[in-house]
Chain A
């Protein structure tokens, strides 16, 4: 049994969310965008695990169940994102998201 302050844990996940947001807004490479989204999703999953750990009742385990589902969904999102990367690379010869403007005509 161990003790932590929730403020430090939440500050960590807030910082990770800010880093992910910064990456999403500034990077132009599709793979870097995917990595930024993963960092932000991991910050959100951390919150579920914290509050499940602090609550202590049996129903708090649903927090960890949601974290399991979110980790699976994030991995799925990377797989679909990489399929988009491959299709974009085949069509445009580059994975720069600024060049993916086929819908603008």
Chain B
């Protein structure tokens, strides 16, 4: 369908532009606003790929929670919130490395079929069964990782630690 191709091209362009802007803009608060737009754009891409559960999760976890956490981190570490970052000189080596990796990936995609392949929809109930099934209890493992991260974060920020 031509409309879906156009929607994908629009979403891809917005994703690239917002991600680049987030890293190139000088004020940290503007960076976080750009990255929030980037996450909302990715959620739109998940909806386009017929994965609505992941789209909702991306909106809730990234565009909601992570953005607010990052803003909070900026708030508590600065005296003035809208202060500019010192300019960092961008050396040629990182740009060359990022460009090389991009060229490598783009050359790899040349091998793939360029014609459209069909995207399948699914029943979200099957996904929840997959998340809780016995041979891969993903959500339980995720919960254990989050619990240990919670303990580690509390240890890092508690008062009186030297």
Query: Which residues on A are within 8 Å of B, measured CB to CB?
Result: 1-12, 14-23, 25-29, 31-32, 34-36, 38-39, 42, 46, 49-50, 52-56, 58, 60-62, 64-69, 71-80, 82-87, 89, 95
Contacts and interface: CB of A to CB of B under 8 A. Distances in A.
Contacts of B19: 16, 19-20, 39
Interface residues of B, number: 87
B35 A5 contact: no
Nearest to A50: B49
A22 B105 CA distance: 15
A28 B155 CA distance: 25
Interface string B137-156: 01101100110011011101
Given A5-B115, A14-B105, A26-B88, A83 B157 contact: yes
Closest 10 CB pairs of A and B: A14-B105, A3-B116, A25-B94, A18-B102, A83-B153, A22-B98, A56-B120, A83-B156, A23-B23, A76-B149
A8 B114 CA distance: 8
B114 A66 contact: no
Given A35-B23, A61-B122, A72-B142, A7 B113 contact: yes
Q: Is the interface of A mostly helix, strand, loop or mixed?
A: helix
22 contacts: A3-B119, A4-B119, A7-B113, A12-B16, A15-B105, A16-B19, A17-B102, A19-B20, A26-B23, A26-B88, A26-B90, A31-B70, A38-B66, A39-B35, A46-B42, A64-B51, A65-B131, A65-B136, A77-B149, A78-B69, A78-B70, A79-B150
Interface string B48-88: 11110110011001100110011011101100000001001
B106 to A, nearest CB: 6
B15 A86 contact: no
Contact of B74 (A31, A46, A54, A69): A31
B57 A68 contact: yes
Contacts of A83: 152-154, 156-157
Contact of B105 (A10, A38, A61, A79): A10
B112 A6 contact: yes
Given A3-B117, A32-B31, A65-B138, A84 B156 contact: yes
A97 B153 CA distance: 18
A71 B61 contact: yes
A82 B38 CA distance: 20
B54 A22 contact: no
